[in-house]
């Protein structure tokens, strides 16, 4: 029984690390998308700031919710 619980803890930590890496890649992808949009058509500075804050707030809320869900369902210590 003890070995399976240790395997569960290791798997949950690997899932969490993979999730954090994926959210980091999402941040980079959205930033590159924003840069490409800005190069194609000129966006005002105010709109750019609003877009950046909206995307970052959305991603941070999603990452916090997913972290809490992962902690609730996968951490078995």
**pTM more than 0.75:** no
Q: What share of the chain is helix, strand, coil (3-state, %, to 5)?
A: 90, 0, 10
The residue segments making up the domain with residue 65 are 2-74
The reported pLDDT for the residue numbered 4 is: 62
- Angle at which helix 2-40 crosses helix 45-74, to 10 degrees, equals 170
Query: Would you say residue 48 has pLDDT above 70?
Result: yes
Q: How many domains does the chain have?
A: 1
76 within 8 A of 12, measured Cβ to Cβ:
yes
Number of helices (H), then strands (E), in the chain: 2, 0
Q: Per-residue confidence at 74, pLDDT binned at 50, 70, 90?
A: low
The per-residue pLDDT for range 51-60, each reduced to its tens digit, is: 777 877 787 7
The per-residue pLDDT for range 6-37, each reduced to its tens digit, is: 666 666 667 667 777 777 777 787 777 777 77
Alpha-carbon span 63 to 30, nearest angstrom: 15
């Amino acid at each position: 029984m003890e070995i399976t619980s240790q395997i569960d803890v290791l798997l949950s930590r690997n899932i969490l690390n993979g999730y954090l890496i994926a959210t980091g890649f999402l941040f980079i992808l959205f930033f590159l998308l924003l840069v490409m949009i800005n190069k194609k058509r000129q966006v005002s500075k105010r709109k750019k700031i609003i877009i950046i804050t909206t995307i970052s707030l959305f991603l941070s809320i999603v990452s916090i919710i997913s972290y809490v869900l992962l902690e609730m369902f996968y951490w078995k210590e």
